[in-house]
Amino acid sequence: MKTETTIQGLTASLSPARSSRKIIGFVPTMGNLHEGHLNLVREARRLCDVVVVSIFVNPIQFGPNEDFENYPRTLEHDSHLLAEVGCDIVFAPSVEQMYGHKPRLTNISVSDITNDLCGLQRPGHFDGVAVVVTKLFNMVQPNFAFFGQKDYQQLAVIRQFVRDLNIPLEVIGVPITRATDGLALSSRNGYLTEEQRKTAPIIFQSLKEAEQQLKQAVNLAEVLENIKQTLTQAGFIVDYVEARTLDLDKIEVFNQDVVLFVAAKLGTTRLIDNLQVKYTA
Ligand code: AMP
């Protein structure tokens, strides 16, 4: 496995793969890798000849009061894990390498679907994601790019600008990897105290409970209210509990497949999760 920290080095490492028309798979991450990330890499390994993983904590997708400075940076450990799952190239650029010294005057802003859910709580976040992912796509020029359904809205935003801008690659969504108690794996779980970690799986439990209620024809608004109450009683500060169609359109009644979304804080740690619920008439 090679590690590259410059765009030039990355291009040189990818050059043999490009000239022999190998299928390149790409997994963008912010590092501090866990099984969720590794499952994306395994999927890339399964479908592609050459697997590139980027590790870059992207400053422009963090709000002023978010955790950019404290975000865990564990490159050495990440590299061991990536070597074990068969990654070929790790791309770990500095902020300078990514953004240079001159001001950036170009933005990539996806409308509508970003003015909802996490986009309302984190203004500018998805613009920051769209810019960095587009830059990385241009550097790696992959055939396939892999993203987790854990960040369902992010995946939708990426699919949208890839389609709108004719970026020549295929986006693959990978299901959420969970701990055995149901908590969706996340680098931010490491911020939780022991006590909070015990409380955190209630998010997934409340989503599964909601799924059961929907199947028993409980009204959608009531189901969402029940999740909110469960979480609040358990000590979460709820940012939102919402239901959307698979394309993130608003929905009032459960008359088609839906995705249930939760964002909630335990102390200062913000956790997100989602669950797709099938509609069977
Ligand atoms: P991050 O390092 O948090 O930016 O995540 C990098 C990629 O890993 C994104 O596509 C995430 O959606 C994905 N990811 C993170 N956690 C999980 C998880 N528990 N299950 C599936 N994908 C995940």
As a whole number, the mean pLDDT across the chain is 97
With cut-offs at 50, 70 and 90, classify the pLDDT of residue 281: confident
Q: Supply the pLDDT for residue 217.
A: 87
Residues 166 and 197 in one domain: no
Q: At what angle do helices 220-233 and 202-215 cross, to 10 degrees?
A: 160
- Verdict on whether the full-model pTM lies above 0.75: yes
**Rounded Cα gap, residues 129 and 220, in angstroms:** 31
Residues 162 and 47 in one domain: yes
Note down the domain range covering 163: 2-174
Residues 65 and 124 in one domain: yes
Q: Supply the pLDDT for residue 274.
A: 99
The two three-digit tokens of residue 39, written as one number: 């499952």
Residues 122 and 198 in one domain: no
Which phi and psi angles does 109 have, rounded to 5°? -130, 120
Please identify, among 174, 195, 221, the residue that sits at the C-terminal boundary of a domain.
Answer: 174
Comparing CA positions, the residue from 147, 104, 157, 98 lying closest to residue 126 is: 157
> Does position 47 have pLDDT exceeding 80, yes or no?
yes
Residue type, 230: T
Q: Supply the pLDDT for residue 131.
A: 98
Judge if the beta carbon of residue 42 lies within 6 A of ligand 1: no
> Does position 49 have pLDDT exceeding 90, yes or no?
yes
Rg of the chain taking only CA atoms, in angstroms: 19
Evaluate whether residue 36 is within a structural domain.
Answer: yes
Mean pLDDT, rounded, for 35-53: 98
Evaluate whether residue 281 is within a structural domain.
Answer: no
Residues 170 and 58 in one domain: yes
Residues 167 and 192 in one domain: no
The CATH number for 205's domain is: 3.30.1300.10
175 Cα: distance to centroid of ligand 1 (angstroms):
10
Residues 201 and 160 in one domain: no
Evaluate whether residue 244 is within a structural domain.
Answer: yes
CB contact at 8 A, 50 and 89: yes
Evaluate whether residue 141 is within a structural domain.
Answer: yes
Our mutation pick for probing the ligand 1 site, out of 151, 152, 158, 269, counting the most ligand atoms within 8 A of Cβ, is 151
pLDDT in tens, 83-129: 999 999 999 999 999 999 999 999 999 999 999 999 999 999 999 99
Q: Supply the pLDDT for residue 110.
A: 98
Residues 55 and 169 in one domain: yes
The CATH number for 137's domain is: 3.40.50.620
147 Cα: distance to centroid of ligand 1 (angstroms):
7
Residues 152 and 200 in one domain: no
* Nearest protein CA to atom 12 of ligand 1, as residue: 148
Evaluate whether residue 181 is within a structural domain.
Answer: no
Mean pLDDT, rounded, for 139-147: 98
Residues 110 and 75 in one domain: yes
CB contact at 8 A, 261 and 113: no
**Rounded Cα gap, residues 95 and 74, in angstroms:** 16
Evaluate whether residue 41 is within a structural domain.
Answer: yes
Residues 170 and 194 in one domain: no
Evaluate whether residue 179 is within a structural domain.
Answer: no
Residue 215: how many other CB atoms lie within 10 Å: 13
Positions marked active-site? 37
pLDDT in tens, 167-211: 999 999 999 999 999 999 999 999 999 999 999 999 999 999 999
Residues 63 and 191 in one domain: no
Our mutation pick for probing the ligand 1 site, out of 30, 39, 40, counting the most ligand atoms within 8 A of Cβ, is 40
Evaluate whether residue 245 is within a structural domain.
Answer: yes
Q: Count structural domains, the chain.
A: 2
Q: Give, as one character, the DSSP assignment of residue 172.
A: E
Q: At what angle do helices 7-19 and 125-140 cross, to 10 degrees?
A: 50
Mean pLDDT, rounded, for 218-230: 97
Percent of the chain whose pLDDT exceeds 90: 99
Q: Supply the pLDDT for residue 242.
A: 98
Judge if the beta carbon of residue 184 lies within 6 A of ligand 1: yes
149 labeled binding residue: yes
Please identify, among 125, 142, 174, the residue that sits at the C-terminal boundary of a domain.
Answer: 174
